[in-house]
Structures are given as C-alpha cells and as structure tokens.
C-alpha cells in the first residue's frame, strides 16, 4: 500500500499524465530541489521543458492550443510536480490557474491569439500581481493606478510578492482605473495584460524566503508603463472579480500543492521509521510512531479527496468559491501538521538541512499564507454558509 496516487482506477489519459509528471519529477526535479533551495535558483530551463511537454497548457482548451484537461486530471499532475518540488509546482500552477483562467474567460480573440495560445504552447510564462505592500488580505484596497492618456493607459504603483514576476514573459496586473476622489472600491479595479519587457516594468530582486526558495517571488515597480488599449482585459472595473475567479481555481492548485508536500514528507517518514532503530527495534514497531504515521496518512488522503471532490464539482460546472477555500484551508493545515510530525519523527536529523523533511516543513508554511491566508479562507467559507440565509 502506498500513499502516492493509485493509478489503477484512473482513465488512460490520467494515467499517462500522472506517469509523465511523476517521471519528470523523479528525474528532472527532485534530484536538484535541495540545491535550488539552497541557492534560491529558479530553474527557468526546467519550466521551459515542462512547457514543451504541455504542462503550461494543462487548463487551456484544445482549440487554444492547450491540453484541455479536466480539473481532476490537472490536480493529479500538479500533485506529482509538487511532490518533486513545490517551487516548481507553484510556478506551473499560477500560470495555469490565474492568467490562463482570466484569458480563457475574458480574453478577446486577438488577446487569446497573442497571449493565451503561446502560453499554452509553453512559449510564454505568465504570472499575476494583485497584492501590494499595503494591501494583502484586503485585496480591494490596492492603490496602483492606470490613467488614460489618449488611446493608451499608463500604469504606476508598486506590487508585492508576485510569483513568476521576475521571470515571466507576461503578467496580469490589477490596478485602479477609478479616479482619486471618486473611488469605487472593488469596482474601481481593472486587469491589464502587461508584457514584462514593457518600458517601466521593474521587478525587484528575488525575495529571500523561508520556503519555496526556488520559486521566483518579487516586488514590482510600475514606473509609467504605457500600454495600448488592447492590453485591458475584459471590462474596465471588473478586474477584482476576475482576480477572485482566478483565485478560486488557484486555491485548488495550492490545495493539491500542499497535498504533494505532505505526501512526500509522509513517504520520507515511512522509509525512515522502517530503517531507523532505537531501543533495539525499528521506529515503526513503536505504537506511538504507528499512531502518528496513521494520522498523517489519514489527513493526506482526506486532503486529497476533498481537493478532488472540489475539482469534480468544477468539472460539472458548479460554483467552487467556498469549496476551493475549504480544500485549501484543510490541505495547507494538513501540510503544516504532517511536515511538523515528519520533522519530529526524524528527530535531530529532521532538523538538519542534509535530510529532506526540514525543506518540506519550510515549503508547507506558505500554503497557509499565499492565495489567501487560512483566516481569509475561513471568512470566505463562513460568508458562503450564510449566503441566502
Ligand atoms: N468569484 C467572482 N466574484 C467574486 C468572488 C469570486 N470568488 N469573490 C468576490 N467576488 C465579487 C463579489 O461578488 C463582489 O461583487 P458585487 O459587489 O458585484 O457583488 C466583488 O467581487 C467584491 O467582493 P467582496 O465584497 O467580497 O470583497 P471584499 O473586499 O469583502 O474582499 C476577500 C473579499 C475574500 C476578503 C478578498 O479580498 C480576498 O480574497 N482576499 C485575499 C486576497 C488573496 O487571496 N490574495 C492572494 C494574492 S496572490 C498571491 O498569493 C501571490 C502569488 O502569486 C501566489
């Protein structure tokens, strides 16, 4: 019995995708993950390889040059990448979940031709920027501004913690398009498609993070970035809604990323407890250890099952806002708990960089923070519970 994804019950497409992702993670990602973590190295070449294999177009319809995978299959692939290295998984997940969803739903035919199709073919890497130094959980309070100048828009302001922001080719950026003195809250926000080679787009140096150190996270200064009108996505004033729709899908991706981290920590713990002997017997023979491993496995299975149930709901065309928050909340707290137990089981070795579980423990933490903190997920869930009451 394994805690990895069982391929027996999968469709032929799902089995092929899982095996491709698993093999890629085993050979091209995991052997290098500790080094990338140590050196804060973002392996753009590995992302490009994943792009050539189709992983940057997983969620894009086939008519837009993507794989057109259903959400369940998308999660299966993402879990395998996350089990290899969560830094790689988040880069792929952001690209597939947020900019892709935004363009699929709201892009004009020329925007799809120019941006979505090359993104799906893996020729362009995308990211998105919502947060700002003064606006995190309260996302609608953002201040970056776009002002009309003739037929153009001119963007200025500061963005924070943007995944892929220093390496992407294109970023979806949320800015205000309402006027000072006539602020419209969430309805004053619009989304722009910003090529990162635009004059005035200035990414900062990669942030020095606790975990996910190989993913590219930067602050961005927008210094009078001039864009023609066709870079406005969808309708002016609906950018916040587009961001929230993208985050619904994004949060599901973070849930499965957390499952991948937790599963890998459990796999390491199972192997270690079978091998490590104390008091004359392997750790796995102590009932206290067995109970811990049993609880870890139960939570990993539970978190995966919940994420898959939400993905199936998405595939049926149902709303997933509350359920995606539940999946992310449960999976990220599972990842933090499971990796903490794994470090504990490894004892002194668990605290050392030479062993794999301390990295998984550090990587797990951000899943409780980004794409909405656990507190924000609880707010979203509680609000939905009362909707219509
Ligand atoms: N789908 C569609 N529309 C939605 C929506 C959703 N999931 N959620 C909200 N909306 C709409 C609302 O219906 C509302 O429109 P109407 O007034 O027309 O009804 C509008 O958006 C405003 O919504 P709220 O009134 O609910 O807005 P709020 O200011 O109260 O904020 C919030 C709600 C849930 C707290 C939101 O601010 C939030 O999710 N905050 C967390 C932000 C976040 O997750 N940031 C992560 C950034 S990305 C990142 O982590 C970096 C990275 O690259 C990984």
In this structure, the answer to whether residues 117 and 141 fall within a common structural domain is no
Q: What is the CATH number of the domain that holds 100?
A: 1.10.540.10
Looking at residue 388, what is its pLDDT? Answer: 66
The pLDDT, as a whole number, for residue 6 is 85
Atom 53 of ligand 1, nearest CA residue? 163
Q: How many domains does the chain have?
A: 3
368 and 248, same domain (yes or no)? yes
The answer on 294 and 249 residing in a single domain is yes
* Two tokens, residue 94: 């952001």
125, 135, 139, 215: residue to mutate for ligand 1 pocket, most atoms within 8 A of CB: 139
Task: Looking at the structure, tell me whether residues 100 and 144 fall in a common domain.
Answer: no
**Which of the listed residues 191, 212, 239 is the one where a domain comes to its end?**
239
Domain extent at residue 217 = 127-239
> Would residue 1 count as lying in a domain?
no
Nearest alpha carbon, ligand 1 atom 49: 371
pLDDT at 210: 98
Answer yes or no: do 139 and 96 share one domain: no
Q: Are residues 253 and 378 in the same domain?
A: yes
Q: Domain end: 125, 157, 186, which one?
A: 125
Query: Are 196 and 137 members of one domain?
Result: yes
Q: Is residue 2 part of a domain?
A: no
The catalytically annotated residue of 80, 245, 368, 371 is: 371
- Residue 231 tokens read as 């870079």
Q: How many CB atoms lie within 10 A of CB 300?
A: 25
Q: Is the CB of 130 under 6 A from ligand 1?
A: yes
Residue 146 sits in the same domain as residue 230: yes
Domain boundary among 125, 157, 184: 125
90 and 145 share a domain?
no
Query: Are residue 72 and residue 103 in the same domain, yes or no?
Result: yes
The closest alpha carbon to 356, from 260, 267, 275, belongs to 267
Q: Are the C-beta atoms of 113 and 244 separated by less than 8 Å? A: no
Residue 1, helix vs strand vs coil: coil
- Residue ranges of the chain whose pLDDT lies below 50: none
Q: DSSP H helical segments within the chain, as ranges?
A: 12-24, 30-39, 44-52, 71-84, 86-106, 109-111, 117-120, 239-275, 287-315, 321-346, 357-365, 374-386
Per-residue pLDDT tens digits for 315-345: 999 999 999 999 999 999 999 999 999 999 9
Say how many Å lie between the CA of residue 139 and the centre of ligand 1.
7
Q: What pLDDT, in 10s, does the model give residues 109-130?
A: 999 999 999 999 999 999 999 9
Q: Which residues contact 54 (CB under 8 A, 6 or more apart)?
A: 66, 67, 122
d(CA 328, CA 321): 11
Are 247 and 377 in a shared domain? yes
């Amino acid at each position: 019995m394994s805690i990895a994804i069982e391929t027996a019950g999968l469709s032929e497409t799902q089995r092929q995708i899982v095996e491709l992702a698993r093999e890629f993670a085993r050979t091209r990602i995991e052997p290098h993950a500790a080094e990338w973590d140590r050196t804060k190295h973002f392996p753009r070449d590995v992302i490009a390889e994943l792009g050539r294999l189709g992983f940057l177009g997983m969620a894009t319809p086939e008519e837009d040059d993507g794989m057109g995978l259903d959400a369940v299959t998308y999660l299966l692939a993402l879990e395998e990448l996350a089990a290899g290295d969560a830094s790689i998984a988040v880069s792929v997940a952001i690209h597939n979940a947020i900019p892709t969803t935004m363009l699929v739903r709201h892009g004009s035919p020329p925007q799809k031709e120019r941006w979505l199709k090359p993104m799906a073919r893996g020729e362009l890497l995308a990211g998105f920027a919502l947060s700002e130094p003064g606006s995190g959980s309260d996302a609608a309070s953002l201040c970056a501004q776009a002002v009309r100048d003739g037929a153009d828009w001119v963007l200025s302001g500061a963005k924070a913690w943007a995944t892929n922001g220093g390496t992407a080719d294109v970023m979806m950026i949320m800015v205000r398009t309402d006027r000072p003195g006539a602020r419209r809250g969430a309805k004053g926000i619009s989304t722009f498609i910003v090529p990162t080679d635009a004059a005035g787009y200035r990414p900062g140096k990669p942030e020095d993070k606790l975990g996910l150190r190989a993913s590219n996270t930067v602050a961005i200064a927008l210094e009078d970035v001039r864009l023609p009108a066709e870079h406005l996505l969808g309708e002016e004033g609906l950018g916040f809604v587009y961001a929230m729709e993208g985050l619904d899908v994004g949060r599901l991706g973070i849930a499965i990323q957390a499952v991948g981290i937790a599963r890998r920590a459990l796999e390491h713990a199972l192997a270690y407890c079978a091998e490590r002997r104390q008091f004359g017997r392997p750790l796995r023979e102590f009932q206290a250890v067995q109970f811990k491993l049993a609880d870890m496995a139960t939570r990993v299975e539970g978190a995966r099952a919940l994420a898959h149930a939400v993905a199936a709901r998405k595939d049926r065309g149902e709303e997933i806002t509350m359920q995606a928050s539940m999946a992310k909340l449960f999976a990220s707290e599972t990842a933090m708990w499971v990796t903490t137990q794994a470090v504990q089981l490894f004892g002194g070795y668990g605290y050392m960089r030479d062993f794999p579980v301390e990295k998984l423990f550090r990587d797990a933490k951000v899943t409780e923070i980004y794409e909405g903190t656990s507190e924000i997920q609880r707010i979203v869930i509680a609000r939905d519970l009362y909707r219509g009451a």
